[in-house]
Chain A
Amino acid sequence: MDNTYNSNQLKRSYLSFQLGDEIFAADVSKVLEILELRPITKVPKTPAFMRGVINLRGSVLPVLDTRIKFGLTVKEDTVDTCIIVLLVELDGDMITLGALADSVEEVLELTDDEIELPPSIGSKFNPDYLKGMYRNEDHFIMILDVDKVFNAGELISSQATISTVHA
């Protein structure tokens, strides 16, 4: 059977959303739900991009501000601002977390062929975080590798920087 050929033609769904002035997308299999913005409780002594925790039907959900993490402009919250609940692998455990987005755009159906490799140099973003890019008319949509974006080493290093600054 010609599996490789088929798999490249197979359509996958991606949820696209806006962060700052850029459009990103994540594999829908990683997205559990999309929540309206609600008051977030900041946990003291945590880096700025860890916005805090919210109550998700009785469990505590950490919410991250990906805009700060990616160094994008942080806009004021609007009615469109929302929390995308993601299922992420962190050091071998599956955890749920929320990521803030300025707005959710649409669900795209893309085959693997349509996704281009990210440029390894000259990119604004760390290519390690990206699965690839997709050219949508006049702009690029960056497809995130969700597990890598929220990887633990990154979090620890940002925490370490914060605490040294404080000390």
Chain B
Amino acid sequence: MKTFESTYLNEAGELLAEIEEILLNLEQQPSSENAIERIFRAMHTLKGNSSMFGFVHVGELTHELENIFDDIRQEKKSVNAELLNITLSSIDHLRALLNDRSLINPVNAERHETLKKCIFGLRENKCEHIKSIKHGVVPPKESTLATWYILFRPGTEIFKNGTNPLLLIDELFTLGETHVTAHRADIPDLEELDVHTCYTWWDIYLVTQETEQSIRDVFMFVDDICKIEIYKVADENLLGYKEFVEKIADIEAGEQVVDIGELQKYVNELLQIIRDNQYQEIRSGIVFTEKEVAHSASIRVDADKIDKLISLVSELVTSQAGLSLMAESSPDAHLLNLSEEIEKITRQLRDVTHEICLVPLDSIIIRLRRLVRDLSNELQKEVQFITEGADTELDMNMIHKLADPLMHIFRNAMDHGFESVDERKKMRKPEKCTLSLRAFYSGTNVVVEVRDDGKGIDTVSVRQKAIEKGLIQGEDNLSAKEIQNLILLPGFSTAVMVTDVSGRGVGLDVVQKKITELRGQLQIESEKGKGTTITIRLPLTLSMLDGLLVKVGETHFVIPLGSVEKCYEMKYTELDTAFNNAVRLDNRLIPFVHLRREFDFIEDVPDYAQIVLVAFEGKAAGLSVDQVIGEYQAVLKPLGKMYNGIDIVSGASILGNGSIALVLDPAKIIQYFDEKIQKNRLKTELVE
């Protein structure tokens, strides 16, 4: 019973999210197709399920909502802002009820009553009729579909009045599903061809619920110079039948002119056969409706199972690398073949598994849209939210962890970024603010860009504030970009007035920290008066890392490729005698970290060291290693709880031969080293 209940809770959560999404869409495009119908259906399912599992209050409230949407469906009522507000609040309330089904929490109980009253209020108020959204509530019914045959033979002179016949056909595409055949037999040889003459004509099959008149309207302006014949072939979607599509392909191949009478006869026979078959199928119980097929196209899987799958696959990748290594050194050709075969399959398996874990950004965008909507009401700023690349996919764990930072950025933009309406008017900006979220792939990264057209960052006041807070010194000379990035520092919040929305002392530094945890980068660009763009750059997956494989003593290390700038060779003795712990590389004096000395690998020091130049946030440092082996795609493994305190090593990876390479965190090494040098300096100063 418990498992059924958790299935119910999962499904209820999804239904609520679906309703919420449709409502938000409905608000933006009141004429959006069959939205009401979908809401009604989702509510109906929710109501049924809830009553079945004893979530009485959920069922009751949903029932009331469903009644309202039923009225709308029957055009007794119309959609308005009040209705949307109440419905959205009810959705929030229903979510709360899923955890408090018996209304034990008095807050929930009170809200339940209030909402019920609101909904009754909505029902009473039946008199309003707004035609504007009327066409949004007409559900397209499967049964009204009809198949039309259209003969379109443009007059040869059609180009002369500036008409492109292809655009007319494109317009037909908007009416429904089409099948178009172009007849090009009349096109003469190139020498005789007159570019101003149209030689082509078309057979078009269109499946639509529109009337003959609306099809005819497409050709309204070319009626007089074209031959247009429109026939209704059947009262259903014939293009859904394989046989019919084959038949018209036959006609097409034969370059025959469609004889409408014959076609009609064929269609009648075909439909008869299909009906008989369907009858048979129903009788033998093997009928699959379209809905069922759609359901089996995706399945719900526990995230734990996927985690398990990933770890097994990465284990397989490692074992397989070991196998290849062995096969290559073995004289057995069969073994080599087999190992190559397995390598291929493993690679595919790995790629497919990684795809499984990818989730489109869509899933958090709904939350963001809701946030924008609620905040724009609260702050009385009219905001237009534009998304681009919502289908960009990211690792599911990453999406999860990205939601909070994004919400924070949005809140910031809404609260501090946008001016009030009056200010915008004064600045001659459009009254409606624009907030856009753009996501796209860039190499092995995913970039998420949040842009607002608000007032931008005022570098003067940021600088002032930073000095006040002691983050920088008065005489420090900073570039505009550096100043803008100051707002990422802990304890920085420029809002003069602490509002309910943001400015509670938790600033963008938290966002920065979260993004860094995801191995991502955060960038701010801003122009005063024009707006701010915050760019988040994230790795495609959390479980893989492109790195440089190096060796120090007997231990392999992986340095993330993103932070590696260049490699140099140098004698170890040069490092030992280096002054002030810095070496000259490309005419720059670079501090270095003697990894052998730091890690206590003092035996068997080779003659030469490789210096890997790493950079992080503008700071560069050289890491001395014995050997640079090459690029390496590392499957990341956590070191586990025992190593919680060790931050210069961020994880481990298993090499092809089964041994372990440690993944270094250059940022932490630089930081660790910085602190150490400063401590030393302090010490020497004290001694002096």
Contact = CB atoms under 8 A, between A and B. Distances in A.
B654 interface: yes
Nearest to B557: A44
Contact of A59 (B600, B637, B659, B661): B637
B555 A41 contact: yes
B325 interface: no
Nearest to A91: B641
Given A42-B555, A43-B646, A95-B642, A60 B637 contact: yes
Contact of B639 (A45, A62, A64, A152): A62
B272 interface: no
Interface in A26-65: 39, 41-46, 50, 53-55, 57-60, 62, 64
Interface stretch (B30-38, B131-139, B277-285, B313-321): B313-321
Contact of A53 (B315, B600, B652): B652
10 contacts: A39-B554, A50-B642, A53-B652, A53-B660, A57-B315, A58-B319, A58-B637, A60-B638, A95-B641, A95-B642
A126 B162 CA distance: 97
B108 to A, nearest CB: 32
A35 B225 CA distance: 89
Interface in A90-146: 90-91, 93, 95, 97
A141 B646 CA distance: 35
B640 A44 contact: no
B319 A167 contact: no
A39 B637 CA distance: 18
Contacts of B661: 41
Nearest to A58: B315
B639 A159 contact: no
Given A55-B658, A58-B311, A43 B649 contact: yes
B8 to A, nearest CB: 30
B642 A54 contact: no
B19 to A, nearest CB: 39
B72 interface: no
Interface of A: 39, 41-46, 50, 53-55, 57-60, 62, 64, 90-91, 93, 95, 97, 152, 155-156, 159, 167
Given A39-B659, A55-B654, A55-B660, A62 B640 contact: yes
B487 to A, nearest CB: 33
B110 interface: no
Given A44-B600, A45-B649, A152-B641, 10 more contacts: A39-B659, A41-B660, A44-B648, A44-B662, A45-B599, A46-B643, A53-B643, A58-B314, A60-B654, A91-B641
A155 B315 contact: no
B528 interface: no
Given A58-B311, A58-B654, A167-B679, A43 B662 contact: yes
A42 B652 CA distance: 11
A60 B319 CA distance: 14
A16 to B, nearest CB: 25
B639 A60 contact: yes
Identify the interface centre among B312, B638, B662: most chain A CB within 10 Å of its CB. Answer: B662
B639 A43 contact: yes
Identify the interface centre among B318, B643, B646, B658: most chain A CB within 10 Å of its CB. Answer: B643
Nearest to A97: B642
Contacts of B637: 58-60
Interface residues of B, number: 31
Identify the interface centre among B555, B638, B642, B649: most chain A CB within 10 Å of its CB. Answer: B642
B652 A45 contact: no
A58 B646 CA distance: 21
Nearest to B643: A43
Interface string B648-685: 11001010001111100000000000000001000000
B342 to A, nearest CB: 16
B639 A58 contact: no
Interface string B298-324: 000000000000011011001100000
Nearest to B661: A41
B645 interface: yes
Given A55-B659, A58-B318, A58-B654, A45 B642 contact: no
B649 A155 contact: no
A54 B679 CA distance: 34
Contacts of A64: 642
Given A53-B639, A62-B643, A44 B649 contact: yes
B313 to A, nearest CB: 10
A136 B662 CA distance: 44
B640 A95 contact: yes
A159 B642 CA distance: 11
Contacts of A156: 645
B648 A60 contact: no
B39 to A, nearest CB: 44
Contacts of B679: 167
A160 to B, nearest CB: 9
Please name the 3 residue pairs, one residue from A and one from B, whose CB atoms are nearest each other, closest first.
Answer: A58-B315, A44-B599, A62-B642
Contacts of A42: 555
A167 B660 CA distance: 28
B598 interface: yes
Contact of B645 (A41, A97, A159): A159
Nearest to A64: B642
A32 to B, nearest CB: 15
Contacts of A41: 555-556, 652, 659-662
Identify the interface centre among A53, A60, A95: most chain B CB within 10 Å of its CB. Answer: A60
Contacts of B314: 58
A41 B122 CA distance: 69
Identify the interface centre among A43, A95, A159: most chain B CB within 10 Å of its CB. Answer: A43
Contacts of A95: 640-642
A129 B555 CA distance: 33
B660 A60 contact: yes
Interface string B545-558: 00000000011100
A62 B314 CA distance: 19
Identify the interface centre among A53, A57, A155: most chain B CB within 10 Å of its CB. Answer: A53
Given A58-B315, A159-B645, A44 B639 contact: no
A92 B654 CA distance: 28
Contacts of B660: 41, 53-55, 60
Contact of A60 (B312, B556, B652): B652
Contacts of B641: 90-91, 93, 95, 152
Contacts of A159: 645
A90 B642 CA distance: 9
Interface string B176-220: 000000000000000000000000000000000000000000000
